[in-house]
């Protein structure tokens, strides 16, 4: 069923202050790109059919990311970049006859939540709004566009084009910092850069924008005053949580956003009954599920997409690197790194191990210092290690993948395992121990 809402994500800008060869929107937080966060938030609302990502600087890289990762998104090239209004105008030919709503966001605001987007769209609909802008009130509004509201009751807009009755607090315009008067600069309500609009009613604006402003750009923000002059219903949705519109312009911002996202994730897991001993030193990605009564010890870093069962013990100093699935009651102890592996319930890897590209059954004991040697440096292949239920892997073993260890099989401590082991068998691969008497006398 079509939802009749499309999204436009602005991502053509340069991001100079990142000082990076990577396009700004492809910087990552917990293994997920900034653009990925925005697209995920949109998709999770379940209200949007299709997203158009406007690309420009380092367009090929962003195009490839969208093509490889986002099913219902496509890219549109904006070259050269003449401003946010120009960016949106590039979508016009693609939505010529589209008869629904369009939401516009920036690709560099990863903290935005699906809940806020839902509330925003809901607000737009409930007001029967033609154009809604998201705003926030900042103590320090520097650099943001300011929301200019009508100051008088039922004042009249005497612009040359038309006369429309305005009532107190109606949104009249957005004025950019560089174009603002001293009085306007004092306004603390700012433009969050997120809009919802009735496409057919607002679309003509994109053919009429001009660049008569301090930056010589076509400003998307000018659609607000345009809408008012057309007698359209223009509203602002004031955001309660300012953090959500935090935009990334530098590496310092990236670090700050990582903290914000982590804090939210930790709060969610605590709420769900996960014990997190030290939230201050624990890092958990947004795409990690954790069952109740699991305990996460300090200095644990969990990135990427993972599913961790209930009653597990993770850390201290554990590293879960993504595509990890743990059953219930699994122990991943100190200095254990796990990547792209499935580990069934009641299995322990308590100390100093690397488990990668593995499928491990239940009731397995992975001895201290066990390494799955999964990577062939020359072929670049990642090979799989399979360990069946009840197997015991002795300490300091190297499991040279591809290799399979049968049910209840034992791998003796210190083994370099290069062949598979049958069920119930013992594998030992090390020189037999010998004692040389009076060795020091020789
Ligand atoms: C913009 C708003 C400002 C608002 C702020 C919120 C305008 C004119 N101003 O300012 O009111 O408070 O966002 O963060 O819109 N982009 C393109 N093509 C372009 C220019 C920009 O795709 O030609 C993209 C950028 O990559 C970025 C987004 O649009 O993702 C915003 O552009 P930016 O230049 O950062 O606008 P601001 O000055 O922050
Ligand atoms: Ca910006």
Torsion of CA 32, 36, 41, 45, to 10 degrees: -120
286 alpha carbon to ligand 1 midpoint, in Å?
A: 26
CB atoms within 10 A of CB 433: 6
Cα angle vertex 17, ends 11, 18, to 5°? 70
Question: Residue 1's pLDDT is what?
Answer: 73
Name the nearest CA neighbour of 371 among 387, 389, 395, 350: 395
| Model confidence pTM above 0.85 | yes
Question: Residue 165's pLDDT is what?
Answer: 55
> What is the per-residue pLDDT across 192-216, written as a single tens digit (0 to 9) for each?
999 999 999 999 999 999 999 999 9
Cα 63 to its chain centre, rounded Å, is: 17
- Specify the residue with its C-alpha closest to ligand 1, atom 20: 83
232 alpha carbon to ligand 1 midpoint, in Å?
A: 24
Name the nearest CA neighbour of 111 among 50, 62, 45, 41: 41
Q: Is the pLDDT of residue 158 over 70?
A: no
Q: Is the pLDDT of residue 160 over 80?
A: no
Question: Residue 169's pLDDT is what?
Answer: 81
5 alpha carbon to ligand 2 midpoint, in Å?
A: 24
Q: Considering every ligand atom shown, identify the ligand nearest to the alpha carbon of residue 89 and give its number.
A: 1
List, in sequence order, every residue forming a beta bridge with 427; answer none if it has no partner.
411
Match 């769209």 to its residue by tokens.
121
Q: Do strands 403-405 and 416-417 pair parallel, antiparallel, or not at all (unpaired)? A: unpaired
> What is the per-residue pLDDT across 369-399, written as a single tens digit (0 to 9) for each?
999 999 999 999 999 999 999 999 999 999 9
- Closest ligand 1 atom to Cα of 106: 30
Q: Considering every ligand atom shown, identify the ligand nearest to the alpha carbon of residue 192 and give its number.
A: 1
Active site residues: 351
Question: Residue 390's pLDDT is what?
Answer: 98
Helical H runs in 291-410? none
Full DSSP string of 138-198: -SS-TTSPEEEE--STT-B---SS---B--TT-EEEEE-GGG--HHHHT--EEEEEEEEEE
Query: What is the rounded average pLDDT for all residues in the chain?
Result: 95
Q: DSSP letter for 225, please.
A: H
pLDDT tier for residue 18 given thresholds of 50, 70 and 90: very high
Q: Is the pLDDT of residue 263 over 60?
A: yes
Given a contact cutoff of 8 angstroms between Cβ atoms, the answer to whether 190 and 136 are in contact is yes
State if residue 244 touches ligand 1 by the CB under 6 angstroms criterion: no
Pick from 1-5, 171-175, 243-247, 260-264: least confident: 1-5
Distance, CA of 116 to CA of 45 (rounded, Å)? 9
Q: Angle formed by the axes of helices 34-45 and 114-126, to 10°?
A: 50
User: In the numeric block, which tokens belong to residue 409?
Assistant: 């099989």
14 alpha carbon to ligand 1 midpoint, in Å?
A: 11
State if residue 86 touches ligand 1 by the CB under 6 angstroms criterion: yes
List, in sequence order, every residue forming a beta bridge with 28; answer none if it has no partner.
33
pLDDT tier for residue 152 given thresholds of 50, 70 and 90: low
- Closest ligand 1 atom to Cα of 191: 12
State if residue 325 touches ligand 1 by the CB under 6 angstroms criterion: no
State if residue 222 touches ligand 1 by the CB under 6 angstroms criterion: no
State if residue 54 touches ligand 1 by the CB under 6 angstroms criterion: yes
């Amino acid at each position: 069923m079509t939802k009749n809402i499309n999204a436009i994500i602005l991502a053509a800008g340069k991001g100079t202050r990142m000082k990076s060869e990577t396009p700004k929107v492809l910087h990552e937080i917990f293994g997920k790109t900034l653009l990925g966060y925005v697209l995920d938030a949109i998709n999770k609302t379940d209200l949007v059919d299709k997203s158009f990502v406007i690309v420009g600087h380092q367009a090929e890289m962003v195009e490839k990311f969208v093509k490889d990762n986002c099913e219902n998104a496509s890219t549109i090239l904006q070259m050269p970049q003449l401003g946010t209004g120009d960016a949106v105008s590039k979508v016009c030919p693609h939505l010529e006859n589209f008869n629904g709503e369009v939401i516009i966001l920036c690709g560099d605001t990863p903290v935005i939540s699906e809940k806020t987007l839902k509330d925003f769209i809901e607000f737009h609909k409930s007001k029967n709004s033609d154009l809604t802008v998201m705003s926030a009130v900042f103590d320090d509004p520097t650099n943001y566009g300011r929301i200019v509201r009508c100051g008088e009751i039922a004042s009249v807009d005497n612009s040359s084009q038309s006369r429309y009755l305005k009532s107190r607090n109606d949104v009249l315009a957005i004025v950019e910092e560089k174009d603002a008067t001293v009085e306007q600069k004092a306004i603390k309500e700012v433009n969050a850069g997120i809009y919802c609009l009735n496409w057919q009613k607002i679309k003509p604006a994109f053919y009429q924008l001009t660049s008569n402003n301090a930056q010589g750009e076509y400003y998307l923000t000018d659609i607000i005053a345009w809408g008012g002059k057309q007698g359209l219903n223009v509203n602002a949705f004031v955001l309660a949580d300012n953090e959500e519109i935090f935009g990334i312009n530098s590496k310092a911002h990236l670090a700050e956003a990582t903290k914000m996202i982590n804090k939210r994730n930790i709060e969610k897991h605590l709420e769900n009954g996960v014990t997190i001993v030290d939230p201050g030193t624990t890092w958990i990605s947004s795409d990690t599920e954790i069952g109740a009564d699991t305990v996460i010890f300090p200095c644990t870093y969990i990135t990427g997409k993972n599913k961790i069962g209930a009653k597990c013990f993770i850390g201290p100093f554990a590293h879960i690197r993504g595509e990890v699935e743990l059953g219930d009651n699994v122990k991943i102890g100190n200095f254990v790194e796990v990547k792209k592996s499935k580990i069934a319930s009641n299995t322990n890897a308590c100390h100093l191990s690397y488990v990668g590209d593995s499928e491990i059954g239940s009731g397995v004991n992975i001895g201290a210092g066990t390494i799955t040697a999964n990577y062939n440096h020359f072929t670049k292949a990642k090979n799989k290690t399979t360990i069946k239920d009840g197997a015991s892997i002795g300490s300091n073993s190297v499991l040279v993948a591809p290799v399979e260890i049968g049910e209840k099989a034992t791998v003796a401590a210190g083994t370099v395992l290069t062949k598979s082991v049958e069920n119930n068998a013992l594998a030992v691969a090390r020189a037999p121990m010998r004692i040389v008497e009076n060795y020091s006398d020789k």
